[in-house]
Structure 1
Amino acid sequence: MRGQADLSREIPVSSSFAETKNNILSGLTVALALVPEAIAFALVAHVNPLTGLYAAFIMCLITAMLGGRPGMISGATGSMAVVMVALVAQHGVEYLFATVVVLGLLQVTFGLFKFGKFIRMVPHPVMLGFVNGLAIVIFMAQLHHFKQAGADGSLQWLHGSAMFVMLGLVALSMAIIYLLPRLTRAVPSALAAIIIVALLTQVAGIHTRTVGDLASIKGGLPPFHIADVPWNLATLKVVFPYALILSIIGLTESLLTLNLIDDMTETRGQPNRECVAQGIGNVVSGLFSSMGGCAMIGQSMINVNAGATRRLSGIVAGIALLCFILFASGLIERIPLAALVGVMFVVSEKTFEWGSVRVFGKVPRADALVVVTVTVVTVFTDLAIAVVAGVVISALVFAWQHAKQIRVDVRDDKDGRRVYALRGALFFASAAQFAELFTPRDDPADVIIEFRDARVMDHSAIEAIDALAGRYQQLGKRLQLRHLSEDCRELLHRARDMIEVNVMEDPHYHLADDRLG
């Protein structure tokens, strides 16, 4: 991370007219981009499109007001929708609403217990893989807009003039987004692209697929509705596993997106507060007939790239989305999908960390492996699995590298005792190599292990020391430890009932002889 400022003391939303204008216009752009995404993810989860739109409105508004990362946008997401589909197919949509409430409560609990801070431990290569994977997912998610239902009901690629018109409008919208900032930044280029392409198709009478071809977005206020399920232990057994998985996926995506925006804006969000806000948003979503959600990296990138990093942009996006549903459904349904696809293609390109490709060959192979692994797993399976896999690989590489660093310098002191000066960390990965460093049969009767430059890290280290002491004891020889650090000494002291070794009188720490005996 680069230099960061604390967001606990927020800058006022209306600090300047230009900033307020940027936040409002960016919020409107985000709201337009949320519509097709919310509909698409609702269809993935096999629920009514309004269920996804209501989720986008509720999650966006609540997390914008209460969350720990101003500027981040939340809504219905594909990573959660692909898990929900199995639940809906087996038990129905009412069980989905109950699950969303439970997952929200779990997320609030995670936030209150300050589990969000652990996201800071995610290695940088995992972050790169996460970003690159989601960039590819965003790109691939747009490709289904280039398909339509055939005569047999199956999806088929557009062809002929329909495909050329779609590609042309996509290219036009992307060109506007890239070129307009060179002329003016008075209006977000993504919003300008949507408006220009929409007006062009209406004025020129160009026939192309629109938002209305996906589904109608006309509706009323989201209704308050307690899930019509038996609220008993049997229901909890059904919904809890899904709720736990969804809560982890949602928080993983949200907190990694928070980290990414922190890095882009050189500020510091509050992950625990964001966990609580995400949870409250999902609880409310479940009580108002919607599918819940989490942070959306694509819409968040649209928002941040437009210079909107305050709560106002998310609040405007949420309110605007509700207004679309209530009052402007007919107008929004006429927006060409090509314009929105062009916006998301640009988001995908800007999200992908192209620098991670250029550094291949310049960084350790293990880090490159982590980046590629997380990227591939994110694309083909699940975000949470990808991040866990990346963290596990990074941890194993770290352990392997440090296991190779353990070594000893051997000398005999003036009293004829053999002194092994140990260097490095003694833990599960280095325990086997540790045992091979000693030659009990060839050593004199008194042997000392010098721990001045070594650390005892875990239970495996204790067992390795005890096993070594046993080898010396069988030969009638004595093994003693010297110059243990405070934490190593405490670790061995807690295990005194498990092992039989001698800790020498240490003039630095004033240890007692045979304390562990």
Structure 2
Amino acid sequence: MLNFFRQQSGSIKNDVLSGLTVALALVPEAIAFAFVAGVSPLIGLYSAFFIGLITAIVGGRPGMISGATGAMAVVVVGLVALHGVEYLFPTVILCGILQILIGVGRLGKLIRMVPHSVMLGFVNGLAIVIGMAQLGSFKTLSPDLHLVYLTGTSLWIMLALVLLTMGIIWLLPKLTQAVPASLAAILTVTLLSVAINNSMNTPGKENVLATVGDMLQTNTIAAEIKDAREEAEAAKPRPRRMVGKNANVAASYDLAEAVDPVQAKRAEKEDALLVARVLEENEGKTAGISGGLPIPYFLDEKYTSVPFSLETLKIIFPFAIILCGVGLIESLMTLTLIDEITETRGKGNRECVGQGTANIICGLFGGMGGCAMIGQSLINVNSGGRGRLSGATAAISLLLFVLFLARWIEQIPMAALVGVMFMVVIGTFEWASLKMVRRMPRSDVFVMVLVAGYTVVMHDLASAVILGVIVSALVFAWQHATHIGAEVKINEFGSKIYQLHGPLFFASVSSFKEMFDVAEDPEDVVIDFYYSRVYDQSGLEAISALAEKYEAANKRLHLTHLSPECRRLLNNAGDLVEVNLSEDPQYHIATDRLA
């Protein structure tokens, strides 16, 4: 299904138009992730600008879009809740430094260790997560200010416009490639939405079709209501815990109090007063994305209270490590996915350095950090963005929206952006994997389903990939533990030769030991490693233990045809391993045969 994205070719026009399309889709994403992180929406928007611009210029994957992401926001929210937003910015800077060190250390190539089954699970799980995330756009505030799903006319009109958006994206490329289909769909549905809202709205009521501005207003009020309710709940006196014979009486009293109609009525009244207070505080206020140019955070008196000390480092270092790992795993997985789609190859180590540089500058200017955005990257590729200009255009356009065009961008309907993301879901999901299930090894099917399921349930892409790699490695070790064997023969000198086949490592040591009969073997025994290799200390220890047994039986053990790597292991082991290494007239390197 990824072929869906290969229909576009790169050009300056496509890069600019696709960058503009991505910028429109970045606005609600950045705002939503800022709410998740517990910071101001402008911090999310500024983060998307810095991360997107810098990685587009110096990153390792042209055409890939980076910005403020949910994966990073989930980590950030814990830091902000425990220590305050002022500790966020030095944490992001430290995260960037660690990412640069990983890139300089050329550790980005470790992404090659991700098996294809993990990649399939990652892509499919990601598609489901992106689709589920769009359901939040179908919510609105109820009269008691709880988020509830749309019903009635508003729901049907929004569904119709979502389908219209998807139809335009699907059909327009068949007619013309002059304009990115996603951009044309957003503009068309926006004009329709403005017309519908103007004709159907009643004074004092919210729009029939929710826009980006409505979403921001709704999320702001919902967040304040939630915080107020949590504060009120925490302030309530708690009855003392009863023990002994009074416990049952206390429990019965609490239960009666919980269902008491008078108490319920009082709680309802208190909640209504709380809601009224929040609404009064927000009366006349309009939540928007308008703002000025970002400034370094250390010039703002609000954020200068964090001391530069060892105690601060102890607080931020654990969060910085997690942010570094999450950001790089998600970025490198996105890089691999875009490589596959565009049939080109990005540079993993350069991407690590680019992400690190972006996070350092983002942190200096009071941002929440970020990494590659898979959904927006796929929108960019689908719209024809292939070069660095597309990412730079998206970032600069986003800043221009904040500075000059906020009022217009806030009129974009959520239905248009949801339609774009649903098409990304359809294009991201590897539908062929459903047909491959019967032909794939069961272990690969298990890993694919495990990674996809973990991604969907936990919404943690980085942990899902790590889990998939670990399980794949364990499956590989288990399968190869039984792949060691030996052909046994006696040569003309009466020596018994064990011709090994298969790898000798920790999982195959038990099978290796069971091959030899020390008591019945002749005085001279040869183990031929022509078709085998020793991989780890467990293998060395097994050889050493076997040599001791033959020595105790007054018999000689020779090792032949060891590869240079195996000999190096033995030399490094020193006195830990004492065996007789026989010199062969014709020395063959095992790696030449096994490569």
TM-score normalized with structure 1 length:
0.93
Counterpart in the other structure of 1:283: 360
Counterpart in the other structure of 2:210: 209
Counterpart in the other structure of 1:335: 412
Counterpart in the other structure of 2:333: 256
Alpha-carbon separation, structure 1, partners of 2:370 and 2:582: 59
Asked if the contact 1:108–1:276 (Cα under 8 Å) also holds between the matched residues in 2, the reply is yes
Counterpart in the other structure of 1:86: 78
Structure 2 alignment gaps of length 5 or more: 1-8, 201-207, 217-287, 589-595
Counterpart in the other structure of 1:399: 477
Counterpart in the other structure of 2:166: 174
Return the offset for 1:199.
Answer: 0.4
Larger Rg: 2
Q: Deviations over 1:143-185 (max 9, x none)?
A: 1111122234332111111211221111111111111111111
The SS at the match of 1:423 is strand
1:437 aligns with 2:437: no
Counterpart in the other structure of 1:10: none
1:363 aligns with 2:436: no
Which stretch of structure 1 is more off in the superposition, 173-182 or 477-486? 477-486
Give the counterpart of 2:343 among 266, 278, 291: 266
1:59 aligns with 2:55: no
Alpha-carbon separation, structure 2, partners of 1:251 and 1:330: 35
The SS at the match of 1:419 is strand
Alpha-carbon separation, structure 2, partners of 1:33 and 1:42: 15
Structure number with higher helix proportion: 2
Q: Deviations over 1:73-92 (max 9, x none)?
A: 00110111111111111111
Alpha-carbon separation, structure 1, partners of 2:579 and 2:12: 69
The SS at the match of 2:527 is strand
Give the counterpart of 1:312 among 382, 389, 410: 389
Asked if the contact 2:130–2:375 (Cα under 8 Å) also holds between the matched residues in 1, the reply is yes
Q: Deviations over 1:456-492 (max 9, x none)?
A: 1111100011111222223332222122222222221
Counterpart in the other structure of 1:384: 462
Alpha-carbon separation, structure 2, partners of 1:148 and 1:176: 26
User: Which structure has more RCO (C-alpha within 8 Å, separation ≥ 6)?
Assistant: 2
TM-score normalized with structure 2 length:
0.81
Counterpart in the other structure of 2:265: none
Counterpart in the other structure of 1:12: none
1:450 aligns with 2:520: no
Counterpart in the other structure of 2:248: none
Alpha-carbon separation, structure 2, partners of 1:261 and 1:218: 33
Return the offset for 1:354.
Answer: 1.1
Alpha-carbon separation, structure 1, partners of 2:545 and 2:91: 50
Counterpart in the other structure of 1:189: 181
Give the counterpart of 2:579 among 501, 507, 514: 501
Counterpart in the other structure of 1:149: 141
Return the offset for 1:380.
Answer: 2.2
Q: Deviations over 1:238-277 (max 9, x none)?
A: 1111111111111111111111111111111111111111
Alpha-carbon separation, structure 1, partners of 2:568 and 2:61: 40
- Quote the sequence identity (%): 59
Alpha-carbon separation, structure 2, partners of 1:408 and 1:48: 66
Give the counterpart of 1:414 among 486, 489, 492: 492
Structure 1 alignment gaps of length 5 or more: 1-15, 511-517
Counterpart in the other structure of 1:220: 292
Counterpart in the other structure of 1:107: 99
Q: Deviations over 1:176-218 (max 9, x none)?
A: 1111111111111111111111101222335211100122111
Return the offset for 1:417.
Answer: 2.1
Amino acid at match of 1:413: N
Amino acid at match of 1:431: V
Counterpart in the other structure of 1:120: 112
1:477 aligns with 2:555: yes
Alpha-carbon separation, structure 2, partners of 1:111 and 1:493: 32
Alpha-carbon separation, structure 2, partners of 1:64 and 1:505: 56
Q: Give the count of matched residue pairs.
A: 495
Alpha-carbon separation, structure 1, partners of 2:363 and 2:561: 59
Amino acid at match of 1:288: F
Asked if the contact 1:39–1:214 (Cα under 8 Å) also holds between the matched residues in 2, the reply is no
The SS at the match of 2:519 is helix
Amino acid at match of 1:49: P
Asked if the contact 1:374–1:389 (Cα under 8 Å) also holds between the matched residues in 2, the reply is yes
Alpha-carbon separation, structure 1, partners of 2:448 and 2:517: 42
Amino acid at match of 1:58: F
Alpha-carbon separation, structure 1, partners of 2:560 and 2:361: 60
Counterpart in the other structure of 2:256: none
Amino acid at match of 2:91: T
The SS at the match of 2:545 is helix
Alpha-carbon separation, structure 1, partners of 2:581 and 2:311: 56
Give the counterpart of 1:460 among 535, 538, 544: 538
Amino acid at match of 1:213: D
Return the offset for 1:509.
Answer: 4.1
Q: Deviations over 1:204-233 (max 9, x none)?
A: 335211100122111111122125211111
Amino acid at match of 2:385: A
1:237 aligns with 2:309: no
Q: Deviations over 1:45-78 (max 9, x none)?
A: 1111111111111111111111111111001101
Asked if the contact 2:100–2:352 (Cα under 8 Å) also holds between the matched residues in 1, the reply is yes
Counterpart in the other structure of 2:246: none
Alpha-carbon separation, structure 2, partners of 1:287 and 1:482: 60
1:40 aligns with 2:41: no
The SS at the match of 2:378 is helix
Asked if the contact 2:11–2:386 (Cα under 8 Å) also holds between the matched residues in 1, the reply is no
Amino acid at match of 1:274: E
Return the offset for 1:399.
Answer: 1.8
Alpha-carbon separation, structure 2, partners of 1:101 and 1:273: 18
Amino acid at match of 2:294: P
RMSD (CA atoms): 1.7
Alpha-carbon separation, structure 1, partners of 2:30 and 2:15: 21
Runs of 4+ aligned residues of structure 1 deviating over 3 Å after TM superposition are none
Q: Deviations over 1:410-445 (max 9, x none)?
A: 112222222111111111111111001111122122
Alpha-carbon separation, structure 1, partners of 2:33 and 2:512: 53
